[in-house]
């Protein structure tokens, strides 16, 4: 429709980004064009830097520009508790709550038969090795594993699978609670969330 292959290519590449539809991608591409003298060079440089400098932590598979990430490098953290997350971005969400001071392990995905993602595609082998060996550097034995997965089918499947293969290792296994979000109105809560909130009620 734009009839300019170079512009169409840029729109196509931008629309591959999550949450960016063709219409938004077109708007972004026009912005790139409008600031052609300064912006594309800056963005290109940023892309290149990320490509060369950022990689996964050898310990927990979070993103880092060093060998091990700042959470694995922090000796004040409790190495007995390991929190499993789907993606590195989940870590910053958990960190900003300030409620967790243990270690992390990033699976880089969840089991999803629909998308053809099996346990082998995730960092599960690495997890088992870590649990068998304790957290490297300190050789502390891991005593508790917390699953912090999304509250969807894939998250449930992954939690179920991991529970199975972690059984018999003498670990305390838990999953972050599902329930009514803080500050929200009970009137507007959906049935499944309300069901979970009742099932998982906490004794006072």
Name which position in 89, 118, 125, 200 contacts a second copy (CB under 8 A).
Answer: 89
Part of the chain binding a second copy (CB under 8 A), chosen from 33-41, 116-124, 130-138, 139-147: 33-41
Q: What is the DSSP track for 101-131?
A: -EEEEE-SS--BGGGTB-GGGTTHHHHHHHH
d(CA 153, CA 92): 23
One residue of 21, 58, 60, 65 binding a second copy per CB under 8 A? 65
- Counting contacts by CB under 8 A, is residue 32 touching a second copy? yes
Using alpha carbons, select from 76, 75, 57, 73 the residue that is nearest to residue 65. 57
Cα separation of 173 and 149, whole Å? 13
Among 15, 24, 141, 163, binds a second copy (CB under 8 A): 24
Q: Does 75 bind a second copy (CB under 8 A)?
A: no
**107-135 core/surface letters (b: 16 or more CB in 10 A; e: else):** bbbbbbeeeebeeeebbbebbeebbeeeb
Q: Give the count of residues interacting with a second copy (CB under 8 A).
A: 54
Tell me, what DSSP letter sits at residue 136? T
Our finding on whether 50 is near a second copy (CB under 8 A) is yes
Query: Residue 140, interface with a second copy (CB under 8 A)?
Result: no
Q: Shortest Cβ distance from residue 90 to a second copy (Å)?
A: 10
Interface segment toward a second copy; rule CB under 8 A; list 49-57, 117-125, 166-174, 183-191: 49-57
Can you tell me the distance from the alpha carbon of 167 to that of 145, in angstroms, rounded to the nearest whole number? 11
Residues that bind a second copy (CB under 8 A): 1-7, 9-10, 12-14, 16-20, 24, 26-34, 36, 39-54, 63-65, 70, 87-89, 92, 96, 108
């Amino acid at each position: 429709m734009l009839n300019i292959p170079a512009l169409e290519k840029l729109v196509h590449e931008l629309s591959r980004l999550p949450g960016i539809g063709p219409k938004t991608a077109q708007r972004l591409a026009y912005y790139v064009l409008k600031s052609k003298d300064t912006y594309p060079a800056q963005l290109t440089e940023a892309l290149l830097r990320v490509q060369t400098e950022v990689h996964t932590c050898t310990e927990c598979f979070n993103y880092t520009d060093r060998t091990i990430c700042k959470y694995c490098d922090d000796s004040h953290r409790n190495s007995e508790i390991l929190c499993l997350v789907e993606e590195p971005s989940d870590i910053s969400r958990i960190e900003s709550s300030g409620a967790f001071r243990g270690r992390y392990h990033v699976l880089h995905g969840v089991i999803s038969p629909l998308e053809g993602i099996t346990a082998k595609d995730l960092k599960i082998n690495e997890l088992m090795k870590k649990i068998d060996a304790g957290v490297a550097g300190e050789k502390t034995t891991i005593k508790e594993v917390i699953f912090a997965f999304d509250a969807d089918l894939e998250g449930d499947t992954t939690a179920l699978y991991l529970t199975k293969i972690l059984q018999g290792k003498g670990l305390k296994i838990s999953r972050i609670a599902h329930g009514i979000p803080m500050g929200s109105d009970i009137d507007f809560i959906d049935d499944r969330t309300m069901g979970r909130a009742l099932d998982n009620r906490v004794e006072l």
